[in-house]
Chain A
């Protein structure tokens, strides 16, 4: 039986009732073309990017929340009066 255009070899046909079943024996190199390596690589890169972004956002949120834990004031502000300024 001749090989198909995809490189797989058609082994036979079966027609139980209304369904036509075609049985294939895949060519030795077929899995390489049907499951490209770029797809899982892209998925992995996207996942890594999402994890990094989530981490950065968490750290940024922590930094913003940290603002409430500020040190004690280094003194107190007192108003300078007009008399004080014009005294000299």
Chain B
């Protein structure tokens, strides 16, 4: 199985490349991206471990260029963020080449653009999966798992605890500020509304070693994809918070001042704030050096109201890479194939997929009442 990996030199991209190289199904890897030096470094690391890997310089925003490199591959995997401007163009390229495509796509607007390619993907009979990381991705699968118990789904809340010490990639930082700057699309009282992001603070309890984190509303793609799966949902929202509270306060101020509205402005701001970052890393409370997910689903089982909460805590790169690698194997080997644009929770069977993640070393946690 030959894999074209876009954005293979980034933090998550390197983890994905190593994950793919370790799988027996993968025989050849093409590591593609904009920065030749980063790609060469990843390729050298893979070759030193015995993998068959080659570099390719690709502009992910050009669908024709992506299509030219995707020809002959069994699957195209994209870690090339930020996904606002890169997810749809890469998906277009893969559809053009007739090769299955999947991405980490975690941008609300970017996901909408990919979903618009559904008809083209159906006509070409190409399986496209967007949002195949941890949020969206694992979060949607955990909601599906919880929904099995609650029977009806009335309220869904997805919370993310990020850490400055864990996710140091520039694309991640740009995405974080964008999520806080975009209006937060959410479902409130059965209606889809837009509320100001970085508002409505609330403490959320995450699995150890994270604990309590102050979270805020944010614009995230789960709201769009889960609303299609559960159209009768009463409330549905995404929340995000940094474990480093001082940095979170500054990020909210920056988002309020308009940083995050454009990628260039966000990158400039991040460059200027680089000297401050070591100071922020030391201001208490310090982060737990890992990323947390929590999914709360409330529903009704016959006449009584039930609530199910699942969570996960692990290194950011592992949480994002493991589901992407597993999904790439499923699509590349054609074990799963369905023309059109999908989200993981609608394409994969949640129990089997989550079991494969547990097999890969992730821990799925469940919130139980009382003390252990």
Assess whether B370 is in contact with A75, with CB atoms less than 8 Å apart.
Answer: yes
List of A residues within 8 angstroms of B212 by Cβ: 70-71, 73
Q: Summarize A's interface: helix, strand, loop or mixed.
A: mixed
Min CB distance B5 to A, Å, is 28
Q: How many residues of A contact B (CB 8 A)?
A: 20
- B227-271: contact bitstring with A at CB < 8 Å (1 yes, 0 no)? 000000000000000000110010000000000000000000000
Assess whether A76 is in contact with B367, with CB atoms less than 8 Å apart.
Answer: yes
Assess whether A78 is in contact with B372, with CB atoms less than 8 Å apart.
Answer: yes
Assess whether A74 is in contact with B355, with CB atoms less than 8 Å apart.
Answer: no
A60 adjacent to chain B (CB < 8 Å): yes
Assess whether A78 is in contact with B364, with CB atoms less than 8 Å apart.
Answer: no
The 8 Å CB contact of A64, one of B285, B366, B368, is: B285
Count A-B contacts at CB 8 Å.
69
**A64 to B248 CA separation, bound complex (whole angstroms):** 11
Assess whether B203 is in contact with A80, with CB atoms less than 8 Å apart.
Answer: no
**A64 to B245 CA separation, bound complex (whole angstroms):** 7
Min CB distance B16 to A, Å, is 23
A17 adjacent to chain B (CB < 8 Å): no
Assess whether B246 is in contact with A76, with CB atoms less than 8 Å apart.
Answer: no
B168 adjacent to chain A (CB < 8 Å): no
Min CB distance B247 to A, Å, is 11
Question: Which residues from chain B sit less than 8 Å from chain A, CB to CB?
Answer: 148, 203, 205, 207-208, 211-212, 245-246, 249, 283-285, 309-311, 351-352, 354-355, 358-359, 363-372
Question: Which residues from chain A sit less than 8 Å from chain B, CB to CB?
Answer: 60, 63-65, 67-68, 70-71, 73-80, 82, 85-86, 88
Query: What would 6 A/B residue contacts be, using CB atoms closer than 8 Å?
Result: A64-B284, A71-B212, A74-B367, A77-B366, A79-B366, A80-B358
